[in-house]
């Protein structure tokens, strides 16, 4: 038997050092929250948009940290464990190109309009652009319903990686989870830590924390990759293990069809409609602030995704050889979400380094949660409570209180949902991003098409929501007997006519928006002109 397999199977003394490092990392974040509170100006504008004062480096770090979630790190590793090298083409390659294009084509223009008209949220912009209060009231619950699964991804990913690295630490206290810290406890601690620094610093606190956490997870991700490769005997030896025990994971084609590959491009369009990303765009000091983000974002994606996907492929070979054990799901199958944590725990033979690397994974996860928390509180306060009330009814202090209370409510709901996890973080993310991506025509038309109408926008949101719900139910409820699509046996993906549902729903959204707009009266020219003025 391979010496690496014997080493991985050998009993190891349980060390609590990784857990201590994770606890220390949580303490650092709490300290950063306190420091950011010292710069908080106490106004709702500063809490929601950091007084539009964020420079290029902080903007890059906050935006990249926001987009890199458990979906990228935990989910990509889990998916490559299941499918192989093709996962990089599915998401990372498309994301690197499309994200930067959207930052340039959408982000800069929305920042300019936000600065000109004082928008704080996405719904504010759409309500004004399409002259429709009804659109705002419909869009708000749709966006919240899509953000909640996004938050859920973070909590589930964090729970999976903490459980993997703490296995056998508490055999008596947590016997039901093989002695590991359970999901309910890790999710609770992480939620409370993020809530603290968001509460005291708002979007500025989130931006500071994002910058720190982005640096942490990028550096530790590369270090984890190098140490895991070393633990497997080097890149060549790692490749040999996969080639011998799971050669299908090295095939560029086979499980993923060309149609599925090309229709995946509709998934990363979701960044154009992320409400938390919209809020980060508004914090920029100037349009020039976006330059660094547009150029560096694809490079950063490659730095994060390549190591994670290779680790997942190596894990598949090691698991097939009998050299890696994974926690089991209720149906007895291996929990792919725990792959990254277990690979670090098995192959990085230093409890201190293991703890640091796991802290880096948690940094990636938490750097998204904070932005989402602030975003939801901002939207509820601005788009529901303040909008439905008389002008100047609420003071800044009252607005902040309302925002914080709504954040607590959303986090509580999401935390409860995290106690009943789905099988794969990646698949949950795809459905979440499918909804946002399908709404992309709404924002693109608002910026580039003068002829788009209020009726077209309303119909677009309604049809997108309805079609997304139908396909989601067909996949989740009727999983084994789906009527509209079918589960691809090679990838385990739900496909419609061989395509990702994101492509089908996007077409429904775009056709509805264009068709209804052309059939209804155009908006007043003087109103449309407000959104097509020359750049300042």
Do β-strands 494-495 and 486-487 pair in parallel, antiparallel, or remain unpaired?
antiparallel
Q: From CA 213, how far away is CA 394, in angstroms rounded?
A: 34
With CA atoms as reference, report the closest residue to 155 among 213, 70, 244: 70
pLDDT category, 109, cuts 50, 70, 90?
very high
Q: From CA 522, how far away is CA 363, in angstroms rounded?
A: 47
- State residue 494 phi and psi, 5-degree precision: -80, 120
Burial of 325 from C-beta contacts in 10 A (0-12 / 13-18 / 19+): middle
pTM confidence score: 0.83
CB distance 316 to 246 below 8 Å: yes
110-114, 398-402, 479-483, 527-531: segment of lowest average pLDDT: 479-483
pLDDT category, 493, cuts 50, 70, 90?
confident
- Tell me the pLDDT tens digit for each residue of 230-287: 888 888 888 888 888 888 777 655 566 778 878 888 888 999 999 988 888 888 888 8
234 Rama class: left (phi>0) / alpha (psi -120 to 50) / beta:
left
Q: From CA 374, how far away is CA 506, in angstroms rounded?
A: 28
pLDDT at 41: 64
pLDDT at 70: 62
381 or 333, which is more confident: 381
pLDDT category, 8, cuts 50, 70, 90?
very low
pLDDT at 466: 94
Percent of the chain exceeding pLDDT 70 equals: 88
Token pair listed for 336: 């792919």
Secondary structure of residue 54 in the 3-state scheme: strand
Burial of 479 from C-beta contacts in 10 A (0-12 / 13-18 / 19+): exposed
Q: What is the mean pLDDT of the chain?
A: 83
Token pair listed for 465: 């929501």
pLDDT at 253: 55
Q: From CA 172, how far away is CA 163, in angstroms rounded?
A: 15
pLDDT category, 487, cuts 50, 70, 90?
confident
- Tell me the pLDDT tens digit for each residue of 361-375: 787 777 778 788 888
Judged against a pLDDT cut of 60, whether residue 426 lies above it is answered with no
Mean pLDDT, residues 431-441 taken together: 92
Percent of the chain exceeding pLDDT 90 equals: 23
Mean pLDDT, residues 206-215 taken together: 79
pLDDT at 131: 94
Secondary structure of residue 111 in the 3-state scheme: helix
Mean pLDDT, residues 148-175 taken together: 83
522 or 158, which is more confident: 522
CB distance 260 to 399 below 8 Å: no
Token pair listed for 11: 């009993």
232-246, 347-361, 478-492: segment of lowest average pLDDT: 478-492
201 or 80, which is more confident: 80
The H-assigned helical ranges of 350-450 are 351-379, 396-418, 425-438, 440-448
Bridge partners (DSSP) of residue 495 are: 486
Kindly list the structural domains of the chain, giving each domain's residue range(s) and its CATH number in brackets, ordered by start: 3-421 (1.20.1730.10)
pLDDT category, 43, cuts 50, 70, 90?
low
Judged against a pLDDT cut of 70, whether residue 491 lies above it is answered with no
Token pair listed for 455: 């009726």
pLDDT at 414: 84
- State residue 170 phi and psi, 5-degree precision: -130, 70
Token pair listed for 262: 């090309």
Distances (CA, A) of 44 to 162, 353, 429: 35, 41, 31
pLDDT at 423: 56
pLDDT category, 345, cuts 50, 70, 90?
confident
Mean pLDDT, residues 96-109 taken together: 91
Mean pLDDT, residues 66-76 taken together: 72
CB distance 290 to 101 below 8 Å: no
SS (H, E, C) 270-337: HHHHCHHHHHHHHCECCHHHHHHHHHHHHHHHHHHHHHHHHHHHHHHHHHHHCCCCCCECCCCCECHH
512 or 179, which is more confident: 512
Judged against a pLDDT cut of 60, whether residue 3 lies above it is answered with no
- Tell me the pLDDT tens digit for each residue of 117-146: 989 889 999 999 999 999 999 999 999 888
495 or 70, which is more confident: 495
- Tell me the pLDDT tens digit for each residue of 318-333: 888 888 888 777 667 7
Give the angle 68-70-76 at the CA atoms, nearest 5°. 90
- DSSP conformational letter for 349: -
Secondary structure of residue 284 in the 3-state scheme: strand
pLDDT at 50: 65
pLDDT at 172: 84
255 or 460, which is more confident: 460
Judged against a pLDDT cut of 80, whether residue 462 lies above it is answered with yes
CB distance 67 to 364 below 8 Å: no
* Cα distance between the two ends of the chain: 69
**Highest mean pLDDT: which range of 93-97, 253-257, 416-420:** 416-420
With CA atoms as reference, report the closest residue to 160 among 335, 16, 333: 335
- DSSP conformational letter for 496: B
Judged against a pLDDT cut of 90, whether residue 158 lies above it is answered with no
233 or 429, which is more confident: 233
């Amino acid at each position: 038997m391979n010496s690496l397999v014997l080493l991985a199977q050998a009993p190891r003394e349980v060390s609590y050092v990784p857990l201590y490092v994770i606890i220390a990392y949580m303490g650092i974040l709490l300290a950063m929250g306190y420091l950011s509170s010292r710069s908080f100006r106490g106004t709702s504008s500063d809490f929601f948009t950091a007084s539009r004062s964020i420079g290029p480096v902080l903007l890059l770090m906050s935006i990249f940290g926001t987009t890199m979630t458990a979906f990228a790190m935990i989910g990509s590793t889990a998916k490559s464990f299941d499918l192989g090298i093709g996962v990089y083409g599915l998401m990372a390659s498309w994301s690197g190109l499309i994200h930067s294009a959207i930052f340039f084509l959408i982000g800069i223009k929305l920042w300019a309009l936000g600065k000109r008209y004082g928008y704080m949220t996405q719904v504010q912009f759409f309500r004004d652009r399409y002259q429709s209060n009804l659109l705002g009231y419909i869009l708000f619950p749709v966006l919240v319903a899509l953000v909640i699964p996004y938050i859920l991804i973070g909590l589930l990913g964090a729970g999976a990686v903490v459980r993997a690295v703490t296995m056998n630490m508490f055999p008596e206290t947590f016997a039901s989870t093989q002695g590991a810290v359970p999901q309910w406890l890790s999710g609770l601690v992480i939620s409370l830590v993020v809530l603290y620094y968001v509460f005291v610093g708002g979007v500025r606190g989130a931006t500071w924390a994002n910058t720190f956490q982005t640096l942490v997870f990028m550096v530790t991700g590369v270090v984890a990759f190098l140490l895991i490769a070393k633990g497997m005997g080097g890149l060549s030896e790692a490749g040999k293990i996969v080639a011998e025990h799971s050669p299908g994971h090295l095939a560029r084609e086979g499980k993923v069809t060309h149609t599925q590959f090309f229709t995946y491009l509709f998934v990363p369009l979701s960044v154009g409609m992320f409400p938390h990303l919209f809020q980060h765009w508004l914090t920029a000091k100037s349009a020039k602030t976006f330059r660094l983000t547009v150029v560096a974002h694809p490079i950063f994606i490659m730095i994060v995704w390549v190591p994670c996907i290779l680790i997942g492929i190596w894990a598949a070979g090691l698991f097939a050889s009998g050299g890696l054990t994974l926690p089991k799901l209720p149906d007895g199958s291996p929990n792919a979400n725990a792959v990254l944590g277990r690979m670090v725990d098995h192959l990085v033979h230093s409890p201190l380094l293991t703890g640091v690397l796991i802290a880096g994974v948690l940094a990636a996860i938490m750097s998204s949660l904070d932005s989402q928390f602030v975003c939801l509180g901002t939207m509820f306060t601005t788009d529901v409570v303040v909008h439905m009330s008389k002008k100047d009814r609420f003071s800044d202090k009252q607005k902040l209180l309302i925002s914080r209370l709504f954040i607590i409510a959303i986090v509580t709901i999401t935390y409860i949902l995290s106690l009943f996890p789905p099988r794969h973080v990646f698949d949950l993310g795809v459905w979440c991003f499918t909804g946002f991506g399908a709404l992309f025509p709404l924002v693109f038309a608002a910026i580039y098409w003068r002829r788009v109408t209020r009726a077209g926008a309303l119909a677009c949101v309604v049809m997108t929501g309805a079609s997304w719900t139908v396909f989601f139910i067909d996949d989740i409820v009727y999983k084994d007997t789906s009527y509209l699509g079918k589960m691809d046996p090679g990838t385990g993906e739900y496909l419609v006519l061989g395509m990702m549902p994101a492509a089908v729903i996007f077409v429904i959204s775009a056709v509805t928006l264009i068709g209804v707009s052309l059939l209804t009266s155009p908006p007043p020219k003087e109103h449309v002109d407000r959104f097509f003025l020359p750049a300042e």
